[in-house]
Structure 1
Amino acid sequence: MTDLLDYADKVWRGEAETRVYHSGVFRREGLHELADGVWMWPAFGNVYLFPTRDGLFCFDTGERRTAADLFDATRARTDARLHTAVYSHGHIDHVFGVGPFDAEAEERGLRRPAVLAHENTPPRFQRYDRTRGYNTVINQRQFQSPGFRWPSEYRYPDLTYRDATTLRVGDLDVRLRHARGETDDATIAWLPERKILCCGDFFIWSSPNPGNPQKVQRYAAEWAQALRWMAGLGAELLLPGHGVPIAGADRVRTALSDTAEFLEILHNQTVDAMNAGATLDEVVHSVTAPAELLAKPYLKPSYDEPEFVVRNVWRLYGGWYDGNPANLKPAPRADLSREIASLAGGADRLAERARELLAAGEHRLAGHFAQLAADAEPTGEIAHTARAEVFTALEKAATSTMAKGVYAWAAAESQAALDGADRDEHLRLRAAGRTRWAF
């Protein structure tokens, strides 16, 4: 079995890439023992198991696609029953692994595992049920996964808590604390006797993601406060929701403190600009994260981006009005685009200008003109050719999963409009490396 901690050390030093981890190679090796009585199942959403005299304590449970694999990996190591599982939050990559253990308990005539989460997790599941169609669409787009379908059933927690609570599972002392960050139902687990910190998605080996442009409100300032609290605990082993563990008190403190500083800078600069009367446009194009932080191996903008965090801070404090009075009660987008096309000499001219701007490296402007062209002439071949070309180029240039997903979706829409094919088929072809796009 590959030494996961040795690999994690190389990632910290910049000698190995995290894409090896995300390939699933470590998950296929089963449970990894990080220390005596600490097992990790390194999946997309990590799972941590702690054997006790009363059974297994589990922090996070993974996603539905791999629930059976988690069960099999656990049973390859131990026959001990799952005693208690804690959800770090209600996102679906963390809450779907209990099912096989429930079924096993029923077959054996045993009490099923107790699941514990924050009191906001059940309302989250209810909201997911109400917005299932929307969540299907936005996650298809974000992850370029046209076959994805949002789940309709959830394993609800048996117990909830509000601010903090303490568990004793066998000989294991577990202190749970709530904080808002990526979600409003996040739970942190601190094991003081072991100096182990299970932080959920407060740390994910990427710049933190309180900026997701397609999801509900997130909380950058409170996220940073939680990180500061965690950094002061003296943890010697950090077990994140995504990515590899971090061993060593100095490294744990540094990683958590750097991430807190990253969020504090973005939050405070945004609020200061808002207090000075800046518009959203001015804030987005003036607030930046320090280059020395973005260069850290655990703060690269590979999932979210600082610009998106700024927008979400604005949304939290400033609502949806962006400071442009024309956007307060805007004309329909298609109407505005047709007027601009008329002034420019037609939608084809807008499309031509989009490609000129793309060639000049003006990607943001190119995106505007390509979209204007397609909105002005929704069936125009020249417009959609330019739009597909522009957004394919933007997708290739983007660093974050979120931006790549939106751009690839737009390009697939235009390519489908050009040849009458299905948009989802274009996304599937692209994911398989067989895309017909020639840009």
Structure 2
Amino acid sequence: MTSSTAPKPAKELLEYAESAWSGTRPVTATGSAVYKETGPHRVAEGVWMWPAFGNVHIFDTSEGLLLFDTGEARAADSLYAAIRAMTDKPVHTAVYSHGHIDHVCGVDPFDAEAGTTGVPRPRVVAQRNVAHRFRRYERTAGYNTRVNRRQFGSPEHTFPDRFRMPDLEYSDALRLRLGELEMELHHRRGETDDATIGWVPQQKILLTGDFFIWAAPNPGNPQKVQRYAWEWAEALEWMAGLGAEVLLPGHGAPIFGAERIRSALLDTAQYLSHLVEHTVDGMNAGADLETIAGSFAVPEHLRDKRYLQPSYDEPEFIVRNVWRLYGGWWDGDPARLKPAPRAELAAELAELVGDAQALAEHALVLLELGEHRLAAQFAQLAGDASDEVTRDVDEARLKVFTELVRVSTSTMSKGVYRWAAAESLARLDGVDVFAAVATLKARE
């Protein structure tokens, strides 16, 4: 490291971490992104954190730098500039905690640098399923573009169709030695089937990836592939037994102190275990999915934990995904085994009550009564009842789904409801849905 460009002192990061834990600073899974401009921040001897949408952790060794995660594509140049302002050492190794695009898209500038300087390009290390994920992503880039635009309200987003593949893959565990650094990599399934946990025993530093994100864990995402809540809980319990004194998460602030780390990990494990057990117990008792999803309750002593708020995922979604994992896609309702097309059902109901406008008007009545779920169903039925959606129907649909955005807590729910509202606003204003999303976000 050059003495004139030494990283920020540890005190700043400690204060940030303390304010996150104590509640004096709002914390979410993505809350550290605004903090990146003043990073990297020293965590321990030879260890730095670059907080961003997806955090990057930097280890300085005598053989070069090791990066644990590399961030998202739009931050790649900022990450490169931040590291190069700190040191001219080459990046020797980059570890992917998993294959999500906010963790794996920052290697290109360092590859390009290697091509011009003649040093070897970074060695990328990942669990072997990451490569399978990348091949699936390449196949489904169009679908994932639509999902991310809807989920995050980002009409400008385009999902990548090219990825920096791993150079070194492992199955269950791998020990990396880089100069004086020894890092253990351990594979567990949780949010993904390709996740890596990093453990530096000499410094008792735990790198959790997205097993811990300063929000309720997200094995319930309704728009993504299968996730593994029970194994996630088991992984958290295993991590809690390591005795870590520093926890560096994939998102959000670090945690310092063995007792805090153990509490955070075990609380999160208990949260997940409770939802899994509730779901499986209901399945074993013969209950259908609707009954199980409508009867859960997060344990009272976990509801107010700052790191377990449903700001990204929701407990109900987790229940539904556990059902999908162990029980398949059918929810137990015989009428939904081979349902009629939505438009046909909506047209029949509209004819029964008079017309689509009657469905829309009833949606607004339900909205005024606070019956948000029923209001959403009737508003959507009104929209589906005819190929020619009327202005009155779209106005009702816009009002219903805009209100659902307001009352929802999670990114996932807000994204889906906002997109539905934007569809109606786009028709009403004669604009495309992307412009309508931007308008709605500006109003929130």
Give the TM-score normalised by the residue count of structure 1: 0.97
State yes or no: 1:423 paired with 2:412: no
Residue 394 (structure 1) aligns with: 404
Whole-Å separation in 1 of the counterparts to 2:244 and 2:76: 29
Task: Please give the secondary structure, in 2, of the residue aligned with 1:329.
Answer: coil
Question: 1:121 deviation in Å?
Answer: 0.5
Question: 1:183 deviation in Å?
Answer: 0.4
Question: 1:142 deviation in Å?
Answer: 0.2
State yes or no: 1:350 paired with 2:378: no
1:85 to 61, 79, 94: 94
User: Once structures 1 and 2 are overlaid, which stretch shifts more, 313-322 or 286-295?
Assistant: 286-295
Question: 1:57 deviation in Å?
Answer: 1.2
Question: 1:202 deviation in Å?
Answer: 0.1
Residue 170 (structure 2) aligns with: 161
Whole-Å separation in 1 of the counterparts to 2:292 and 2:77: 47
2:217 to 193, 203, 208: 208
Code of the aligned partner of 2:85: A
CA contact (8 A) 2:29 2:213 kept: no
Question: 1:345 deviation in Å?
Answer: 2.2
1:173 to 179, 182, 207: 182
CA contact (8 A) 2:199 2:205 kept: yes
Code of the aligned partner of 2:221: N
Code of the aligned partner of 1:29: T
Whole-Å separation in 1 of the counterparts to 2:309 and 2:164: 33
Whole-Å separation in 2 of the counterparts to 1:97 and 1:23: 17
Whole-Å separation in 2 of the counterparts to 1:205 and 1:23: 10
1:300 to 279, 300, 309: 309
Residue 293 (structure 2) aligns with: 284
* CA offset digits 1:22-42 (Å, max 9, x no partner): 273310112111222110000
Question: 1:293 deviation in Å?
Answer: 1.2
Task: Please give the secondary structure, in 2, of the residue aligned with 1:211.
Answer: coil
CA contact (8 A) 1:348 1:373 kept: yes
Whole-Å separation in 1 of the counterparts to 2:300 and 2:347: 41
Whole-Å separation in 2 of the counterparts to 1:29 and 1:218: 34
Whole-Å separation in 1 of the counterparts to 2:324 and 2:186: 26
Is the alpha carbon distance of 1:21 and 1:372 closer, same or farther for their aligned partners in structure 2, counting shifts above 3 Å?
Answer: closer
Question: 1:16 deviation in Å?
Answer: 1.4
Question: 1:64 deviation in Å?
Answer: 0.6
Query: Among the aligned pairs, what percent are the same residue?
Result: 59
Residue 384 (structure 1) aligns with: 394
Is the alpha carbon distance of 1:3 and 1:289 closer, same or farther for their aligned partners in structure 2, counting shifts above 3 Å?
Answer: same
Residue 152 (structure 1) aligns with: 161
State yes or no: 1:222 paired with 2:231: yes
Question: 1:287 deviation in Å?
Answer: 1.6
Question: 1:291 deviation in Å?
Answer: 3.4
Question: 1:279 deviation in Å?
Answer: 0.5
Question: 1:221 deviation in Å?
Answer: 0.2
State yes or no: 1:52 paired with 2:76: no
Residue 5 (structure 1) aligns with: 14
Question: 1:61 deviation in Å?
Answer: 0.4
2:374 to 353, 365, 388: 365
Residue 349 (structure 2) aligns with: 340
State yes or no: 1:319 paired with 2:310: no
Task: Please give the secondary structure, in 1, of the residue aligned with 2:81.
Answer: helix
Is the alpha carbon distance of 1:173 and 1:32 closer, same or farther for their aligned partners in structure 2, counting shifts above 3 Å?
Answer: same
Whole-Å separation in 2 of the counterparts to 1:323 and 1:163: 36
User: Once structures 1 and 2 are overlaid, which stretch shifts more, 3-12 or 217-226?
Assistant: 3-12
Give the TM-score normalised by the residue count of structure 2: 0.96
Residue 3 (structure 2) aligns with: none
* CA offset digits 1:298-337 (Å, max 9, x no partner): 0100000000000000000111111111111111101101
Question: 1:93 deviation in Å?
Answer: 0.3
Residue 330 (structure 1) aligns with: 339
Where does the alignment leave 5 or more consecutive residues of structure 2 unmatched? 1-7
Question: 1:20 deviation in Å?
Answer: 11
Task: Please give the secondary structure, in 2, of the residue aligned with 1:22.
Answer: coil
Code of the aligned partner of 2:154: S
CA contact (8 A) 2:95 2:124 kept: yes
Task: Please give the secondary structure, in 2, of the residue aligned with 1:428.
Answer: helix
CA contact (8 A) 1:116 1:157 kept: yes
Whole-Å separation in 1 of the counterparts to 2:268 and 2:33: 25
Whole-Å separation in 2 of the counterparts to 1:402 and 1:20: 13
Task: Please give the secondary structure, in 1, of the residue aligned with 2:34.
Answer: coil
Is the alpha carbon distance of 1:424 and 1:131 closer, same or farther for their aligned partners in structure 2, counting shifts above 3 Å?
Answer: same
Q: Where do residues 102-251 of structure 1 align in structure 2 (5 Å cutoff)? A: 102-251=111-260
Whole-Å separation in 2 of the counterparts to 1:182 and 1:303: 13
* CA offset digits 1:252-311 (Å, max 9, x no partner): 000000000000000011000000000111011012212331210101000000000000
- Matched length: 434
CA contact (8 A) 1:288 1:307 kept: no
Whole-Å separation in 2 of the counterparts to 1:25 and 1:164: 34
CA contact (8 A) 2:30 2:54 kept: no
CA contact (8 A) 1:207 1:302 kept: yes
Whole-Å separation in 1 of the counterparts to 2:322 and 2:117: 50
CA contact (8 A) 1:350 1:373 kept: yes
Question: 1:97 deviation in Å?
Answer: 0.9
Task: Please give the secondary structure, in 2, of the residue aligned with 1:207.
Answer: coil
Residue 16 (structure 1) aligns with: 25
CA contact (8 A) 1:203 1:241 kept: yes
Code of the aligned partner of 1:67: A
* CA offset digits 1:365-389 (Å, max 9, x no partner): 1111111111113412221111110
Code of the aligned partner of 1:81: P
Question: 1:21 deviation in Å?
Answer: 7.0
CA contact (8 A) 2:28 2:311 kept: no
CA contact (8 A) 2:209 2:250 kept: yes
